[in-house]
Structure 1
Amino acid sequence: MKKVLKITGFTILTILILLIVIPFVFQGKIQGMVKQFINENVNANVEFSDVSLSFLRRFPEAHVSINDFVITNFEPFKGDTLVAAKTIAFTVSIPELFKTAGEDPIVINSISIDEALVTLKTNTEGQTNYDIAKASETETTSSETESSSFAFSIDNYSIENSAFNYIDESSKMMMQISELNHTGSGTFSGATSELDTETDANVSFTMDGTNYLNHNAIKLDALIDLDLTNSKYTFKENKGYINKLPIEFNGFVQLLDEGQNIDLTFKNPESDFKNFLALIPETYSGSLDGVQTSGDFTINGIVKGVNSDKTIPTFDINIASNNASFKYPDLPKSVKNIVINTTIKNTTGFLDDTFVDIKTLNFKIDDDVFKSSASIKNITKNMLVKANLDGVLNLANISKAYPVKLENELTGILKAKLNTAFDMNAIETNAFERIKSSGTASLSNFVYASEDMANPINISEADLTFNSQSVTLNHFKAKTGESDINASGTINNLLGFVLSDTELKGNFDLNSNLFKMSDFMTESETATTDNKTTTDGESLKIPAFLDCTINANAKTVIYDNLKLTDVKGKLLIKDQQATLSNVTSSIFDGALSISGDVSTKTETPTFSFNLDANNFDISKSFQGLELLQNLAPIAKLLQGKLNTNINLAGSLDKEFAPNLSTVSGNALAELLTTNIDENKDGLISKLESSISFIDFSKLDLKDLKTKLEFANGQVSVKPFDLKYKDIAITVSGSHGFDKTLNYNAVFNVPAKYLGSEVTQLISKIDSDEAKNITIPVTANIGGSYTSPTVKTDLTNGVTNLTKQLVEIEKQKLLNKGKDQVTDLIGGIISGNKTKTDSTKTEQTNAVKDVLGGILGNKTTQTDSTKTTSNTTTTNAVKNVLGGLLKKKTKDTIK
């Protein structure tokens, strides 16, 4: 017995070892077979990571799997992925692997595909990306085909967690099947077979920009007869679901050389109106548990004919309900008197002749009755539309009767009585003569609230009149926060904007008694910036679809801490650009005029503006406007009136505020009847402590004019002149938007202000020119506006005064000496010319002595004399000016 057990155990162990080892021997053969099959049959680029073989996984069958399988196209779809699958696996009986070349093909028993994505395309020229099978080099006759018929037997197959896309660019059609799970089982070895399938997936279908299905859940359990000889597939026992609406199919699909012959009928087996709600995706309809319904709902149809490149099957689909109602258990309102009568039909087999006829679509909520009808023809080309709306709808009742998920509650009464008829080409090209519209619509007591808004907007009245060419906004009254809006105007192509990708054009007159910008901003926005309207990482964009002109008139506009009155002007919005034209306002006891634009065409928004200010109160305007504070921070100390013109341009940040480092432009400023505020700040105090002979509170600033240029965060001030009594002052320099200062102020001080020492020094020089001497004293202003530094430079003043005094004295002495020399020379000429050389030398020395005396020393010492004289005068000037500026001479000169 032990011996038998040992033999048995050894045998089992040997078999296990063989089952593990043999696949490694055959794996290369299997991989070669796969590559050979692909090369012989596929005209595309095929890749896979590996092929594995196992005898244990599906014993007694062999299990073969191909991993990371990808097919990419050649031209004209080069690089497109046709098929991508994580795993493709199949099973065969182990003896099939031992067949040699020339024997019958290997019989595959089952196939499974996991996580596959198949994308089929047809381009505008009718070429397909899935036609990748290589043509046979030789054609076989029918008799040869029969003698070598292939008995291909598959017990079952499965497709799991996969997706399928079909894109037809010529017809602008796209179908997407996602979350596809499909299984099938049966025997395929005979001429006729039977296939039992189960399928569930989500389906989306779009044609010509219209979304007919959007992730609708589809389920189908079908038993299908397969007539492989005639390529005919007949539905026997089947039941499908669209969302939760049950549908039964009957009929067949047969493959033909030119397409498919289809003969199908379908209907919903139950007539309860709850089936209509089941047709709506659960995301929108909610749970149907406990929903009370009355009335019926039926959907049935016939699809019959050949589907080919030129034709489609004819079809007749009918949807009907009569006097139905529904009420959700958790909602207070019900929808009653529901009448639906709709037909979708094609009687010719040509796609262009398909039409939708909504004869009736009526319902009632409380006492509000809403009626509508519509027809749509020529769907695939220039679609023709007729529609009629007549009814009243209390918007608040929508969420009370139907579980629609609204971000914000709606209130208000909508009334509409409209008739319209148009073709889509007329809408897109604004061919108003082909647009027939008439009727009215109104909205009252409409309240809309959102977390993106600081306050709810309450529209008390909105009244519109429709005609063929435009929609007239007769009245529009609204309020949000403390702001009120009254508007009227016209909209030229409302239907074009709603139904196609066209601009919304209009002209409006906007009036307001009070318009507060803070009423249109959320709390988080105002906490960070005055005009932030975007989330982090996003930049505000002016809508590209807007093309409108707004004439605005507001009695009061409040922006941050600014209060503007009598605001009037025009705003043009077009091509992602907002242009202000002739905008005027009263502010800071003066008048403001603005023109310019803001553009969001580029990734970084830009702006360009021209501002004219007339008779502004300087103190108020410079304290209230950050821009003026940056251009001239010291001006906030001034009292009086200002005229200015500012041209500026730059970029805006993501919060729609000017990026100061990019702002450039220029400004012209004129001060009227202006003086300095008695409450002096640090800069004025610094100047007064350094320059004692100026009382800055008495500076004459009247009619002061200056020009500023700014770029790269710096403001350059062109030289301008001030006056203090008879002291002329010239100021120039620059400062940064960061309040850093770099200015020079040159004070041309008359000599009479320089004290008794200079006055006595000048009085010794008997000359009118000496009495008019002025001394330039330079004040270098640096540091920052909040912590300024002032340094006085006397170098130029000392040099200037010294040169003037020396020059005046020299000219005076030269003029006096000139007379003496003339007399001397005349005497020499009239004397005895026969004198000796020694006599001549004496006479010459006499002249030198005279000239030397004139220049303050002997002629042989002229240079040293001149230096000594200048040094003496210079030192005297230094002492005087140093004392005048309350500093020691040594420190001052340094």
Structure 2
Amino acid sequence: MKKALKIIGISLLIIVFLLLAIPFAFQSQIKDMVKRFINENLNAQVEFSDVSLSFIRSFPQAHVEVDDLVITNFKPFEGETFATAKNIAFTMSVNELFKSSSDEPIIVNSINIDEALLTLKTDALGNNNYDITKEKENTANNPDANNTSFSFDIEDYTINNSAITYLDAISNTELYLTEFNHSGHGTFSAENSELDTETTSNISMSIDSTKYLNNNSIKLDALIGLDLNNQKYTFKDNKGFINQLPLEFKGYVQLIDEGQDIDITFENTGSSFKDFLAVIPEAYSKNIEDVETTGDFKVNGIIKGKITETTIPTLDIHISSNNASFKYPDLPKRVSNITIDTAIKNETGLADDTYIDIKTLNFKIDDDVFKASAVIRNLTKNMFVNADIDGTLNLGNLTKAYPIDFDKELSGILKAKLNTQFDMNAIETNAYSRIKNNGSASVTDFVFSSEDIVNPIQISKADVTFNPGNVKLNSFDARTGTSDFTATGSIQNLLGFLLSDKKLQGNFDVNSNNFVVSDFMVEDTSASEASNKTTSNSESLKIPDFLDCTINANAKNVVYDNLNLSNVKGTLSIRDQEANLQNMTSNLFDGLLAITGKISTKTDTPVFNLNLGADGFDIAKSFNGLDLLQNLAPIAKALQGKLNTTISLQGTLDNEFSPNLSTMTGNAFAELLTTQIDPKQGSVLSKLEGALSFVDFSKLDLKDLKANLDFANGNVNVKPFNLKYKDIGIQVSGSHRFDKTLDYNAVFNVPAKYLGSEVNRLIGKINDAEVNTITIPVTANITGSYTSPNVKTDLSSGVSNLTKQLIEIEKQKYINKGKDQVKDLIGGLLGSDKTDTVKDSTTTVKTDSTKTKDPIKESVKGLLGNILKGKTKEKDSTKNN
């Protein structure tokens, strides 16, 4: 006995050893087998990390696993991933591993797939990415063509924790199955057999951008009869769930040459209104287990017909409920008097003829009764809606009766009685002639919040009348932030704004007592969301991109940045995140301001291009209130009086929607009216006054002073302009930067009389009228900064040069005076015998030659005469030679 047990034990050990060792011997054969199957059957690129074999896991069958499978399409979907799977496991008889011929099929008994991702696509040309199986040779020419490397005789299969995506570009259909788990038990090889399946998943589906299912949970337990010869699959005993709504269905699906033939009927097994709440995704309906309901709810339908390239099955689906109600246990309000009568139909088999007929949709919350009906046609293409709404709704009661989560709490009373008819294409293309609205609506005490605005808009009252093509805004009284405004006007595409991503178009007359610009700007968080940003996390302001309107504004007070503008009037056009200002006028700084231009927030950094005109600005107030003017003319701080100016400027705006001075470019023209100067208010003037003592800067004549300047990159260039102090002409030119650094030249044409006692003594000695008009240019070079200026002048060298000039003038005057005296003397000596004329500075005296001659003069005359005669003779003799 012991010997027998020992032999049995040794035999078992050998068997176990062989079961563990043999798979290693067949490892390469298994890989070759998988590769052979792929190459012979698939027209795609297939990769996997490993293939393994085990005789233990599924004993007595062999267990084959393929890890990290990736299937990538060839053209026309080249490079796109068709399928991935973390693991695929097959079980088969051990005998299948020893088949030596590639023509012998390998029979697989079970398949298990884990974490698969499958994407099924049909492009606009009708190409399918799942057509990856190779075409077989014609069986008539090759009897063995049906032989393949694998044959399935499956008893069990499972798909675990997987996802399936179906995208059809032709029908614009999208279907997503997530958290997909499916298992089946049966035999495919039998001609008539049964397949018992269990399926759970979340499903989302949309057709032509209309979402019909949104992450709804589904569960299906189906016993399916298989008629493989006729490719007919019959639902024998089936029960499914959409969210928590139970459905029973029966019928069949048969594959035919044109597509599929379907004949299915279904109905809900319960009749409680709670079944209706179960259709709504749990994320919205929450836990309905303890919800109190009354009334019934019925769903039944027939889907019958063929799915081909041109047809769909006919539909006859009914949803009804009578006098129902529900109340959530943790909410205070009950929704009652609920009546639903809705049908989904298609009577022709053409997809375009599918329609939804909502004959009745009524409900009541407290004393507010809301009634609606609608017909929705042409669902798959250009959807057409014909709806009637009549009722009153307290918006605040919605969250008190139903567990809706809003970012902001709703409030307000909505009253509406209207009919609307439109198609979606008309809304998208603004074809107003096909949008027909008739009726009226009003809202009171409504609060509107959106990510596109900074502050909630509190609408105390709004009345609109719906007309074909537009909506007339009869009254609109609202507040947001610290702003208030009333409006009237018209809206061209209210439905487009509410039902799609169209812009809000209209023309409005707006009046306001207080209007703060920043209250209407949206915060831009894109910069803070960028992972590689270099800017700060601060948010900038944006003009809402949903606005496309023209506003005729009249506001008593407007706050922009740190400015308070009064009596603002003008036209504001807003489109594509740009605000265009036209003929905008306002009272500011005791004067009148006019603005034209635009502001744009389309780019990451907002930009502006404006023309400003100021008439009669108070200089002190305007230069204290506007950084722009302070930077363009910092010296104006010392001025008092009135200013006229025009400024053309472009640049960017910072996060607070204020001009970024370092980016501004433009030009300006300024005219000063009735100004006075306080040099103590300006460091530059104080320094100049110290350097040029003969100028009292408080008495500068600035009346009608005109100056031109241009600026760019933070630098202001001032073109030469003239001003005057008494009889001293002054010309100023140069530049400064927005950081207050200075580089100016002021040229003073100074009369000599202002240049000190030495100069004045010399002028007195010369005693010449022309000398009194002499001026010299004195240049003052101003550098440094406005708060700490440096002033250098050439006054000393100018006075020195002038002194030398005056001394030279005096010298020449004495020389000329001596010459005149000698000349007078000689003239007297050389006078005529008959009449000599002697000139002095005051009189002319005539002498008669007949009078007695002075002997001295005569002797001198004779001497000079002999000398002159001698000179004449010398000249003559030289000439003769």
Mark yes or no: TM-score above 0.5: yes
Distance 1:145 1:721, change over 3 A: closer
Amino acid at match of 1:282: E
Amino acid at match of 1:39: N
Distance 1:376 1:791, change over 3 A: same
| 1:722–1:729 Cα contact (<8 Å) kept | yes
State the match for 1:395 in structure 2.
395
State the match for 2:792 in structure 1.
791
Deviates more, 1:180-189 or 1:538-547: 538-547
Distance 1:518 1:579, change over 3 A: closer
SS class of match (2:620): helix
2 CA distance for matches of 1:178 and 1:190? 32
State the match for 1:832 in structure 2.
871
**Which whole-Å deviations, capped at 9, do the CAs of 1:587-607 have from their partners, x for residues lacking one?**
100000001011233443321
| 2:234–2:251 Cα contact (<8 Å) kept | yes
| 2:731–2:746 Cα contact (<8 Å) kept | yes
| 2:762–2:806 Cα contact (<8 Å) kept | no
Amino acid at match of 1:310: T
Shift of 1:250: 1.0
Amino acid at match of 1:472: K
Identity score, percent = 64
1 CA distance for matches of 2:73 and 2:658? 50
SS class of match (1:634): helix
State the match for 2:574 in structure 1.
573
SS class of match (1:152): strand
SS class of match (2:684): helix
Deviates more, 1:612-621 or 1:186-195: 186-195
State the match for 1:472 in structure 2.
472
Shift of 1:567: 0.4
Shift of 1:2: 8.7
**Which whole-Å deviations, capped at 9, do the CAs of 1:107-160 have from their partners, x for residues lacking one?**
223222222222222222222222122211332589878999986222322222
Distance 1:730 1:19, change over 3 A: farther
SS class of match (1:177): strand
State the match for 1:383 in structure 2.
383
Distance 1:537 1:27, change over 3 A: farther
Deviates more, 1:49-58 or 1:807-816: 807-816
1 CA distance for matches of 2:698 and 2:438? 72
SS class of match (1:299): strand
State the match for 1:615 in structure 2.
616
State the match for 2:754 in structure 1.
753
Amino acid at match of 2:674: T
| 2:524–2:542 Cα contact (<8 Å) kept | no
| 1:777–1:796 Cα contact (<8 Å) kept | no
SS class of match (1:508): strand
SS class of match (1:411): coil
2 CA distance for matches of 1:187 and 1:524? 61
Q: Does 1:43 align with 2:59?
A: no
Shift of 1:634: 2.2
**Which whole-Å deviations, capped at 9, do the CAs of 1:362-402 have from their partners, x for residues lacking one?**
00011110000000122233333211000000111111111
Distance 1:429 1:407, change over 3 A: closer
Q: TM-score, normalised on structure 2?
A: 0.87
Amino acid at match of 1:750: P
| 1:392–1:416 Cα contact (<8 Å) kept | yes
Deviates more, 1:144-153 or 1:497-506: 144-153
Amino acid at match of 1:26: F
1 CA distance for matches of 2:4 and 2:690? 122
2 CA distance for matches of 1:300 and 1:818? 138
Q: Does 1:82 align with 2:82?
A: yes
1 CA distance for matches of 2:815 and 2:220? 125
State the match for 1:195 in structure 2.
195
**Which whole-Å deviations, capped at 9, do the CAs of 1:792-828 have from their partners, x for residues lacking one?**
344763586368547756876897799899999x999
Which runs of structure 2 are paired with 1:772-787 in the superposition (5 Å)?
772-787=773-788
SS class of match (2:152): coil
Amino acid at match of 1:403: P
| 1:776–1:796 Cα contact (<8 Å) kept | no
Deviates more, 1:493-502 or 1:640-649: 493-502
| 1:409–1:448 Cα contact (<8 Å) kept | no
Shift of 1:454: 7.5
SS class of match (2:399): helix
2 CA distance for matches of 1:724 and 1:146? 113
| 2:747–2:777 Cα contact (<8 Å) kept | yes
Q: Does 1:331 align with 2:370?
A: no
State the match for 1:64 in structure 2.
64
State the match for 2:602 in structure 1.
601
1 CA distance for matches of 2:542 and 2:605? 10
**Which whole-Å deviations, capped at 9, do the CAs of 1:591-643 have from their partners, x for residues lacking one?**
00001011233443321000000000011011111221222222122111001
Amino acid at match of 2:650: A
Shift of 1:782: 2.5
Which runs of structure 2 are paired with 1:429-440 in the superposition (5 Å)?
429-440=429-440
Deviates more, 1:692-701 or 1:146-155: 146-155
1 CA distance for matches of 2:819 and 2:37? 125
State the match for 1:876 in structure 2.
none
Aligned length: 830
Which runs of structure 2 are paired with 1:97-246 in the superposition (5 Å)?
97-102=97-102, 104-140=104-140, 152-246=152-246
2 CA distance for matches of 1:817 and 1:24? 138
1 CA distance for matches of 2:301 and 2:174? 23
Distance 1:515 1:55, change over 3 A: same
Shift of 1:310: 1.4
State the match for 1:869 in structure 2.
none
Q: TM-score, normalised on structure 1?
A: 0.86
SS class of match (1:119): strand
Distance 1:456 1:430, change over 3 A: closer
SS class of match (1:36): helix
2 CA distance for matches of 1:792 and 1:95? 113
State the match for 2:507 in structure 1.
507
Amino acid at match of 2:279: L
Distance 1:68 1:829, change over 3 A: farther
State the match for 2:408 in structure 1.
408
State the match for 2:860 in structure 1.
none
2 CA distance for matches of 1:602 and 1:452? 16
State the match for 1:374 in structure 2.
374
2 CA distance for matches of 1:242 and 1:391? 31
Shift of 1:7: 6.7
SS class of match (2:396): helix
Q: Does 1:261 align with 2:261?
A: yes
Which runs of structure 2 are paired with 1:413-812 in the superposition (5 Å)?
413-448=413-448, 457-480=457-480, 482-517=482-517, 536=537, 540-677=541-678, 679-765=680-766, 767-794=768-795, 797=798, 801=802, 804-805=805-806, 808=809
**Which whole-Å deviations, capped at 9, do the CAs of 1:52-108 have from their partners, x for residues lacking one?**
334444444433333332222222222222222333332333332222115632222
| 1:151–1:189 Cα contact (<8 Å) kept | no
State the match for 1:874 in structure 2.
none
2 CA distance for matches of 1:373 and 1:81? 46
State the match for 1:856 in structure 2.
none
| 1:151–1:190 Cα contact (<8 Å) kept | no
| 1:235–1:249 Cα contact (<8 Å) kept | yes
Shift of 1:48: 2.8
Distance 1:11 1:622, change over 3 A: farther
In structure 2, the gaps of 5 or more residues are 526-534, 831-863
- Give the aligned CA root-mean-square deviation in angstroms: 3.4
2 CA distance for matches of 1:719 and 1:348? 86
Deviates more, 1:166-175 or 1:294-303: 166-175
| 2:106–2:150 Cα contact (<8 Å) kept | no
SS class of match (1:739): coil
In structure 1, the gaps of 5 or more residues are 526-533, 841-894
**Which whole-Å deviations, capped at 9, do the CAs of 1:845-893 have from their partners, x for residues lacking one?**
xxxxxxxxxxxxxxxxxxxxxxxxxxxxxxxxxxxxxxxxxxxxxxxxx
2 CA distance for matches of 1:661 and 1:448? 38
1 CA distance for matches of 2:3 and 2:459? 99
1 CA distance for matches of 2:605 and 2:482? 33
